[in-house]
Chains A and B, each alone.
Chain A
Amino acid sequence: MSFLEVTAFLANGFVFSLIIFAVTLLCGVPLGLPIAFCSMSRYKPVKAVSKVIVWIVRGIPLMLQIFIIYYVPGLLFKTPIFSNIDRYIISNFNIPNEGLLRMLLINAGSLVAVLIAFSINYACYFSEIYRGGIESISKGQYEAGYVLGLTKSQIFRKIVLKQVIKRIVPPMSNEIITLIKDTALANCIMIPEIIKQAKELAATKAMIWPLFYTGVFYLLFVGLLTILLGRLEKKLSYFN
């Protein structure tokens, strides 16, 4: 295999990494907000449930969570949801013989399981960042809003939110950069993400260098992320 062929083969894997990355952000970022609010709720049961969930999700390894989501429906309820997705797709779609679309279709079930696990896991981490951000806003900002006759929701949306965003950008950047690297965990249920693809080459073609070459993909992407997140941080630096 030529260098270009290897690059293309690994790039297919990186598409899976990017899908996991994008969907986790798309679901995890909004999902973290209700969890953060529940964790700050005045109602003790809501707060307790939310705290326990966050504790569990942050307390056990993401890899184990992937296994739990993937296997438990089949083991406990005799309904292997995710491989049923595979079965459904196999019997209802024409699967092309090669290419990225084929990889996506035959791995759809496991991919859904990974996406759920990642989204929940990251939502919980994000929720704690949100909570820290929200709680760091001084009481005076809320009171200034109250005495100006604003509603709670107006105060949150128009006054507090942007200040929270400014404060959470650095810790969120950290999590986001960790996320792209965490996507490699998906290979524990054989999602053909980039590391898995590289190991495939090592196993079938005895090519070991592609495994180290994958680092370039991550580095380039993290570089891009760093620039974008840095811009966002700079954009918000006009106020304290």
Chain B
Amino acid sequence: MKKILAVLLCLAMVFSFAACGKDDTVVVGYTIYEPMNYLDENGDLIGFDTELAEKVFENLGMDVTFKEIQWENKYTDLASGTIDCIWNGFTANAKDDDGIERSEKVDFSYNYMMNKQVVVYNLDGEEIKEADSIKGKVGAAESGSAGESYAKGFEGIVFKGVTKQTDALLEVLSKTAAFAVVDEQLAKSYCGKGDYAKLAYADELSSDAEYYAIGFEKGSELTEKVNAEIVKLAEDGTITKLAKKYGVENTAIVDYADQVK
């Protein structure tokens, strides 16, 4: 009985200090997505988004921590306060699978990068060139991603949802799917390299331009603060430097004049 009481007391303590969590610590939700958020050789989390987030919150005088999430749970994580923002190559101008614009579900920061969805296939298999050649084939994409919506837009394909964009690539690599729909940024950093040497993507099937932005809970005070900070970091050249470091200088947005009202 005493032991049970002790355990309960411990739990109560944990809960009480947890209930008064600090406001100046920001939890950033991410999934492994090279070159935005990924692990280096030492297992440290790096990437364009990672470093940009660190800079922004450092300048805002806030502690930042990164929490890996399941992409399909991102809205639940945000709504429950488990994370404070989604900063993970989050396509802003897209609809979810339910047909609702993402911008109706979360508040977006300024667009900070251009992107599109590309179709990745295995060079050992049939070459994929146009929409007809993927008819009747299995296509994988991350559940809840812009890629999922885009993949499902093709007629007559069999859709297979997976938990990570990289899992979608693995599906193609192991030939359990004929093609995968992933972000161009990701495809660029994986396809044709190392273990992914057999993968390629078909430019002809890519989607229209998309934009990455940071997602916050509706009405979050952070949105404006982060926007202002991003503009500053663009002006002092930090974003350009980061973009070069991660090879995204062609798609990173450095001019925010038309977005600032």
List A residues at the B interface (Cβ < 8 Å): 27, 30-31, 34, 67, 70-75, 78-88, 90-91, 97-98, 106, 109, 112, 116, 188-190, 199-200, 202-208
Contacts and interface: CB of A to CB of B under 8 A. Distances in A.
Contacts of B222: none
B21 A204 contact: no
The 3 closest A-B pairs by CB, nearest first: A84-B21, A74-B80, A206-B195
A140 B42 CA distance: 66
Contacts of A30: 3-4
Contacts of B18: 81-82, 84-85, 88, 109
Given A112-B14, A204-B38, A206-B195, A79 B19 contact: yes
Contacts of B69: 190
Given A83-B81, A200-B32, A188 B7 contact: no
Interface stretch (B114-122, B123-131, B164-172): B164-172
B63 interface: yes
Interface string B155-186: 00000000010110010011000000000000
A85 B25 contact: no
Given A30-B3, A84-B21, A203-B170, A71 B80 contact: yes
A88 B82 CA distance: 13
Interface in B40-94: 42-44, 63, 65, 67-70, 76-77, 79-83
A98 B46 CA distance: 13
Contacts of A27: 7
Nearest to A102: B43
B37 to A, nearest CB: 11
B234 interface: no
Interface string B185-218: 0000000001110000000000000000000000
A95 to B, nearest CB: 9
Contact of B70 (A87, A188, A208): A188
A204 B166 contact: yes
Contact of B173 (A83, A189, A206): A206
A90 B14 contact: no
B76 A75 contact: yes
A72 B196 CA distance: 40
B81 A78 contact: yes
B75 to A, nearest CB: 11
Contact of A87 (B3, B14, B22, B167): B22
Given A86-B67, A88-B17, A80 B166 contact: no
B235 to A, nearest CB: 29
A81 B20 CA distance: 9
B4 A91 contact: no
Contacts of A72: 80
